[in-house]
Amino acid sequence: MNSSSTGLEWTEWLQGWRRLTYETLFQKIHAKHLQDPLLLPPLNGLNCIVTGATSGIGLEIAKQLAESGAHLVMAVRNTSFAHQLIQKWRRNETESRPLSIDVIELDLFHLESVVKFAQEWNSRSKPLHILINNAGIYSIGQPQKFTKDGYETHIQVNHLAPALLSVLLLPSLKRGSPSRIINMNSLMHVIGVVDPQDMNFLTKKSKFTSRKAYSSSKLAQLKFSSILQKFLMNTNIHVMCVEPGAVRTNVTRDLSRILNILYQKMFFFMFDAQQGSRSALFAATDSDNLDYCGDLKAQGCNVCAFIGCHCRISEPSKEAYNERTSFEIWNKTMEMVGLPAGGVDMILQGEEIHCCYGANSDR
C-alpha cells in the first residue's frame, strides 16, 4: 500500500506510534553523551541564515552560531524583537569576538515574502554557507486554516515556504560551497501521510486534524529534501533533515486545561530549547556530515541524511525511501510554489527563473 497517499496500514500506524513513544521516553538517555550546550568549532567568516530565530530552538541556534563567530542572518517576522535580542546579546559580547548579525524580514505565511527575502540576499552576491530552515508551526487542536496564498497553514509554513526558500537561495549556496541546507524535521513524519493531489486536506479521503497536517508536512519536507539532494548530485551543496526530539514549547497554549496538564506531565522526559537545538547545530557544523552526505550522493540513495536528536545518523520512515512518491511530491511542490519542475538545474546553470509569487508577478 502507498502510505504516501492512501493512508497508513494499522501495522505501520502502530509501529510509528511505538517508535515515537519509545524515543520520547528515552531521548535523554540516548543523548546523555552530548554536551549542553553543544561545543561548536570556530565559524569565522561563515554566512548562516536561520529562520524563526527569535524564539525557542531557533533562538538558541542563532545565538550559538553568532557566538561561535559566524555572520548570522536572522530571517524573522518580528524584526523589531530581533533587534532587541541582538542588543541583549551584545551586552555580553567580548572584544575578541564581536557579534556579526543582520536581520531580514521573512514571513513564511506569505510566499511573496520568501521570494523577496531570497532576492535581497542573492543581490548581495555573498556566499551562503549554512541555511537552517528552523521556523515551523504545530497548531495543536486548532481547526483547519489557510494562508492568503490558499494553502493549509502547516503545509505552507513547514514545507512549501522552506522548499521555495532553499531553491531560490541556491545561487548563494553554490557560491558558499561546500554548503549545507538544514531542515528542522520531526520524528512525527513516521505517522505522516501525504497525498500530492490533496496537500490541503480538501477532500473527504482524509479528515483534517492538526496532528495529520503537521506530521504530513514533515514527511513532505523529508521527501522533497531527498529529491533536492538528487538534483544537487554534482554540486558541493548538501541537504540534511534533523530531528530535535520532543521539546518543551508553547504549542499547548490553545489546548484544554486537562490536555495541558497531561502534556506537562511529559515535561520530565522532554528537552528544553537549548537541548533541542543540538541536532541542527551538529548537522550545520560537524565536518564528518559533509563526507556522509557525499557518500549518500555517490550511492544514489533515495533519502537524504536524517540526523536524530542524539546527533547521530538515524533511520527515517520506510515511506521516506519511496522514490516514486517523493518525485510526485517534488513535482507538486514546485507547482504549488510557482517554480518549474526543472528549476534547480536551471539555477545551477546560471539561468534566472521566474516565480509567480514575486512582487512584480501578475498572478
* 139, 210 Cβ separation under 8 angstroms: yes
Predicted local confidence at residue 140, as pLDDT: 86
Cell 512582487: give the residue: 359
Mean pLDDT of 262-290: 92
pLDDT at 222 over 70: yes
Give the per-residue SS3 of 78-125: CHHHHHHHHHHHHCCCECCECCEEEEEECCCCCHHHHHHHHHHHHCCC
pLDDT at 1 over 50: no
Predicted local confidence at residue 216, as pLDDT: 97
Burial label for 278, CB within 10 Å (0-12, 13-18, 19+), is buried
Residues, the chain: 363
Task: Please state which of the ranges 80-94, 116-130, 223-237, 308-322 shows the lowest mean pLDDT.
Answer: 80-94
For the chain, what percent of residues have pLDDT higher than 90?
Answer: 83
Task: Please state which of the ranges 136-150, 249-263, 316-330, 337-351 shows the lowest mean pLDDT.
Answer: 249-263
Name the most confidently modeled range: 77-91, 204-218, 241-255. Answer: 77-91
Cell 533562538: give the residue: 59
pLDDT at 39 over 70: yes
Predicted local confidence at residue 270, as pLDDT: 93
Residue 145 CA: distances (Å) to CA of 157, 191, 312: 12, 21, 35
Beta strands in 38-86 (DSSP E): 47-51, 71-76
pLDDT higher for 263 or 358? Answer: 358
pLDDT at 255 over 60: no
Predicted local confidence at residue 253, as pLDDT: 55
**Lookup: cell for 324:** 516514486
Predicted local confidence at residue 249, as pLDDT: 73
pLDDT at 262 over 70: no
Which of 283, 362, 351, 355 lies closest to 117 in space, CA to CA?
Answer: 355
* Whole-number average pLDDT of the chain: 92
**pTM for the whole thing?**
0.94
pLDDT higher for 174 or 201? Answer: 174
Report the C-alpha gap between 349 and 360 in whole angstroms. Answer: 24
**Lookup: cell for 33:** 553523551
Report the C-alpha gap between 342 and 229 in whole angstroms. Answer: 14
DSSP secondary structure code for residue 142 in this structure: P
Sheet harboring 179-184: ordered strands across? 100-105, 71-76, 47-51, 130-133, 179-184, 237-242, 305-307
Q: Is 138 a catalytic residue?
A: no
Delineate the domains of the chain, giving CATH numbers in brackets.
20-349 (3.40.50.720)
Task: Please state which of the ranges 82-86, 103-107, 268-272, 278-282 shows the lowest mean pLDDT.
Answer: 268-272
**Lookup: cell for 217:** 508536512
pLDDT at 46 over 90: yes
Predicted local confidence at residue 316, as pLDDT: 97
Report the C-alpha gap between 37 and 332 in whole angstroms. Answer: 39
* Alpha carbons within 13 A on the beta-carbon side of 188: 18
Report the C-alpha gap between 352 and 363 in whole angstroms. Answer: 18
Report the C-alpha gap between 238 and 250 in whole angstroms. Answer: 32
Which H or E run includes 212? helix 210-231
pLDDT at 286 over 50: yes
Q: Peptide bond before 42: cis, by omega within 30 degrees of 0?
A: no
Set 138, 151, 214, 357: catalytic member: 214
Band of the pLDDT at 50, cuts 50, 70, 90?
very high
pLDDT at 60 over 50: yes
- β-partners of residue 49 are 73, 131
**How many CB atoms lie under 10 A from the CB of residue 334?**
21
pLDDT at 244 over 60: yes
**How many CB atoms lie under 10 A from the CB of residue 99?**
17
Band of the pLDDT at 18, cuts 50, 70, 90?
very high
Band of the pLDDT at 16, cuts 50, 70, 90?
very high
